[in-house]
Structure 1
C-alpha cells in the first residue's frame, strides 16, 4: 500500500510538549509520529503545545494550527485547569471552541482528557479521593464536549494513572511530569486511538 502523507499537530500543555522527557525524541509527539510512520504514514509533525497552558490558551495554539491545515490533531489538556481550579464548564467550553475550529479546517481531532492528578506523589493520601473526583468531573465534561464537536476521545487517564502509581520511575525528577519511560507508557495507551483516527481518515479519502 502506498504511504499516506499526514500533517500532524499536537496541541495542549506540558504533557503534549514533552516536559520531563530526557530527550526530545522521547516526547509524546515524536513517539506518536513513529507509531504513525510504522503504520504507513509520512508524517509532518508540528508540536504547538505550550507548557503551563490551560484550556483557554488553546485558542492561540489553534490559530497557529489552522494556518498549517493539519490532517490530524491531538489535544492534551486539563492538568493546569485542575491545578488552577478553573471551573470545569469554563475549561470544557474553551476545549469545545478549539475542537470546533480545528474541525472547521478539516482536521480530525483526538482529545486526551485531563490526567488523574491524584497519582502525583506529592498529593497527600487523604486528599486523593477529592482530587480524583475533581479530575473525573472535568474528564467527563471534556469527553462530552469533544464528541459533540466532532472529535474522538482517548479515555486513558485511569490506565495511565495505574501505571504511574505502580512504577515511580515513570515520573521525571520533578515527581510531577513524566520521564522518558512515562511518555513511552502514555504513548502506548494513546497509539490505538491516534492510529484509528489516522486510518479512518485514510479510508475515507480512498472511498
Structure 2
C-alpha cells in the first residue's frame, strides 16, 4: 500500500472547481488521498499543484521538490493549459511529461497520469482543438508505456464530457467531476473497493433548444472566455503569485468519501 503520495500538476490537481477561495479547494487529488488514508492511516500526502501552470512550469517548479519528498505514489497531470494556447506543441508538452515520468519512476515511485477528454464536446467553441487532444493523448500513452506509468484514459469514456462533471467555466471539473476523477485513479491503481463505476453514464440530460444553447454560449464567452483572453494578452496567469497548498507530506484529514450528487439537469 502507498504511504507517501505526491500530486504534481495545475488547477485540476489543485482542486479548482471543488470548493472556493473562502473554504479552500478539495479536488480529486485530495479525494484520492482520503481514499488511500482510509486504507492505511499512515499515509502522508503533499500537493504541489498550482493553477495556470504549463507543463514545462510543472516540470521546472514541482519535479525537484517532489523527488525530495521520496514518494511511493505520484500523480502527474499537466498539459491542458498548453493545449488551449496558440503556440501549442504536442511534442514539447509530451517531452515535459515524459521527463517527469522518467525521474519519478526511476526514484521508485509508482506514477499515474491521465489522457484528456474531448474538450470540443464540453465547450463547442473548442471543437477545432480536437486534433490537438488526439495527438497529445497518443503521446501521453506512448510515454507512459515506456515508463510503466498507469494511465486513466478519460478520452475513451463519454461521461467525461457530461456538462454535470464540469464547472460553469468548462475548464475545471465540478465537485462531482473531481469525485469521478478520484474514483478513476483509484480504479486504475486497483485500490480495494474501487471499480469501473466512475465511467458509468449519468441519467439523461435534457437537451436545450437552439436559442437557449446560443444564449449559454454567449454567457460563457462573456463570463469566462473573455477574462481568460485578457489575461493572455496581458501576459498574466491565474497562478501568478500563488504557492502550492500542501508543500510538505502530512497526514490526511478524513472527510466524507461519498461523491456529491449530480446537479439537476
TM range (shorter): 0.7 to 0.9
Query: Partner of 1:132 in structure 2?
Result: 130
1:190 paired residue among 185, 194, 197: 185
What residue number does 1:33 align with? 33
The DSSP-based 3-state class of the residue aligned with 1:114 is coil
Match of residue 73 from structure 1: 74
What is the aligned residue count?
186
**Does the 8 Å CA contact 2:36/2:43 hold for their aligned counterparts?**
yes
Per the alignment, residue 200 of structure 1 pairs with: none
C-alpha displacement of 1:15: 0.9
Asked if structure 2 preserves the Cα contact closer than 8 Å seen for 1:5 and 1:42, the reply is no
Contact 2:11 2:49 (8 Å CA) reproduced: yes
Task: Report the Cα distance in structure 2 between the residues aligned to 1:135 and 1:96, rounded to whole angstroms.
Answer: 17
Task: Tell me the distance in 2 between the aligned counterparts of 1:171 and 1:42.
Answer: 32
2:16 equivalent in structure 1 = 19
Structure ranking higher in helix proportion: 1
Unmatched segments (≥5 aa) in structure 2: 192-265
Structure 1: which 5+ runs fail to align? 197-207
Q: Tell me the equivalent position of 1:149.
A: 147
1:103 aligns with: 105
| Cα distance in 2 for residues equivalent to 1:71 and 1:143 | 21
CA contact (8 A) 2:116 2:154 kept: no
d(CA) in 2 for partners of 1:184 and 1:24? 16
CA-CA distance at 1:151 after TM superposition: 1.7
Structure 2 residue aligned with 1:7: 4
Output the CA distance in 2 between the equivalents of 1:193 and 1:42.
22
Name whichever of 72-81 and 111-120 sits farther off: 111-120
| Contact persistence 1:36–1:195 (CA under 8 A) | no
Tell me whether 107-116 or 131-140 shows the greater mean CA deviation. 107-116
Contact 2:15 2:28 in 1 (8 A): yes
Query: Could you tell me which residue of structure 1 aligns to residue 122 of structure 2?
Result: 120
- Asked whether the 8 Å contact 2:4–2:73 carries over to 1, the reply is yes
Deviation (angstroms), 1:18: 0.7
Q: Which SS does the other structure have where 1:45 is aligned?
A: strand
User: Structure 1 segments of 4 or more deviating over 6 A?
Assistant: none
Report the TM-score, using the length of structure 1 for normalisation: 0.80
Q: Over the residues paired in the alignment, what is the CA RMSD in angstroms?
A: 2.1
* 1:71 Cα deviation from its structure 2 partner: 0.7
Deviation at 1:86, TM superposition (A): 2.0
Q: Aligned-pair distance for 1:53?
A: 1.7
Shift of 1:41: 5.9
1:53 matched residue in structure 2: 53
Distance 2:120 2:42 in 1: 37
